[in-house]
Every structure is written in structure tokens, then in C-alpha cells.
């Protein structure tokens, strides 16, 4: 039973421009995939929306989840739905929809093609608090489970008993854990710092 663990520091992120600001790629699969070629199974990024009104990139065949990290935004999905999101609220939509946004924010994005399914969870971890999680493929028709822990504010620690790894995540750093077998792997996120840690956990099956 194996668990691949990777610490991703902020200087490893790839930053590029889009029509509404900049986007920071945190992780992509396969690792050699190129976002502009749309040849990824999944992609995790954080974007700065620096204009009051912007049009989202058209991404047919891609399912998206967006979570706001800072600011407030209104999303309008033409002929579907609209919503207003505040920090750590999220919305799911299809990349083929015509989507506009109103408001300047920093957001967190998960993009997936038809071969992946995933979700986002925000965590607020107080001093001396710990939260336990499990990587698991289960009986579903998937081959891998990846969970990415992204530290938005503060700092936190990640412990994987199986590998005896303990990682410290500082602000704007991430850890990526992947299994490719049916045996579940447990891990713990905890905070031994006096300030609250705000974390986004991404769970992807593919």
C-alpha cells in the first residue's frame, strides 16, 4: 500500500494572465498536461479577478467548482442560474455555459473533465485542533484518489501515519496526497499555532 505525498511551495506555482486578471496553477493532472491545450484530467488554481465585470473562459467538456477566498462576486450563468458568493462559499457549473462575473475577488478553482469527480471543502482549524480525513477509492469506478490541502491563511500541519510524514504548510502552500489502490489511507490536519488556519481541501476521484 502506497501513498504519494508532495509538498508544493508557492514558488512552484505557474502564474499566467487571463482576460480578467491572473491565474495561479497549483496542481494539474497529468503533470505534463498544459492548460492551454485542454489536455488535463483535472486542474486546481487560484485566480485574481481584477476587473468589475469579466467573462469566463469557454471550457466545453469541463465541470467546474469555484470557491471565493477573498471579496464578493456575483456569477451569472446564462439560461441556468445566478448566485452571489462570499468568502468560502462555492458554486458548481459547466465550463460550456456562458458565464459572467461581477466583482473583484480572489477565487479557488477546480476543473475536471468527464473522467473525474471532485469536491471542495473549507476548513477553519483553531489552535490545538485537529481534523481527521481518509483517502479512499472504495468500490467506485475510479483508479486514483488525490486530495490537495491548500493553506489560505495562517499555517497548519499535515500528518500521514502510514508514511510517517509530517508536513508544515505555510500560507499559500499546498500538499498533494494520492493513492491508487483500494486500501484507505488516513491523514490528519492540525494547528499548533495560535492563529486560526483557513484551509481548502480538494478531493478528486479519477
Count of Cβ atoms closer than 10 Å to residue 197 Cβ? 24
Contact 201, 120 (CB under 8 A): yes
**DSSP state at residue 154:** S
Q: Is 83 in contact with 100 (CB distance < 8 Å)?
A: no
Element (H, E) at 101: strand 99-102
Q: In what order do the strands lie in the sheet with 63-71?
A: 14-18, 21-29, 42-49, 105-112, 63-71, 90-94
Beta bridge partners of 27: 44
The per-residue pLDDT for range 43-86, each reduced to its tens digit, is 999 999 999 999 998 999 999 999 999 999 999 999 999 999 99
pTM of the predicted protein model = 0.95
State pLDDT tens for residues 162-176.
989 899 999 999 999
- pLDDT score recorded for residue 58: 93
pLDDT of residue 1: 60
Residues of the chain below pLDDT 70: 1
Q: How many residues does the chain have?
A: 206
Amino acid at each position: 500500500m502506497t501513498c504519494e505525498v508532495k509538498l508544493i511551495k508557492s514558488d512552484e506555482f505557474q502564474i499566467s494572465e487571463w482576460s480578467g486578471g491572473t491565474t495561479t496553477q497549483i496542481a494539474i493532472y497529468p503533470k505534463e498536461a498544459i492548460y492551454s491545450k485542454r489536455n488535463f484530467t483535472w486542474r486546481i488554481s487560484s485566480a485574481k479577478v481584477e476587473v468589475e465585470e469579466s467573462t469566463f473562459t469557454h471550457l466545453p467538456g469541463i465541470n467546474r467548482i469555484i470557491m471565493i477566498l477573498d471579496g464578493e462576486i456575483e456569477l451569472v450563468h446564462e439560461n441556468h442560474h445566478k448566485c452571489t458568493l462570499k468568502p468560502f462559499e462555492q458554486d458548481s457549473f459547466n465550463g460550456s455555459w456562458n458565464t459572467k462575473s461581477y466583482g473583484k475577488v480572489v477565487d479557488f478553482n477546480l476543473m475536471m473533465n468527464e473522467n473525474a469527480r471532485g469536491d471542495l471543502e473549507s476548513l477553519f482549524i483553531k489552535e490545538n485542533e485537529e481534523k481527521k480525513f481518509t483517502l479512499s477509492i472504495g468500490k467506485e469506478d475510479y483508479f486514483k484518489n488525490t486530495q490537495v490541502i491548500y493553506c489560505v491563511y495562517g499555517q497548519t500541519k499535515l500528518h500521514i501515519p502510514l508514511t510517517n510524514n509530517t508536513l508544515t504548510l505555510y500560507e499559500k502552500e499546498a500538499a498533494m496526497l494520492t493513492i491508487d489502490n483500494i486500501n484507505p489511507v488516513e491523514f490528519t490536519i492540525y494547528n499548533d499555532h495560535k492563529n486560526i488556519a483557513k484551509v481548502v481541501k480538494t478531493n478528486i476521484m479519477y
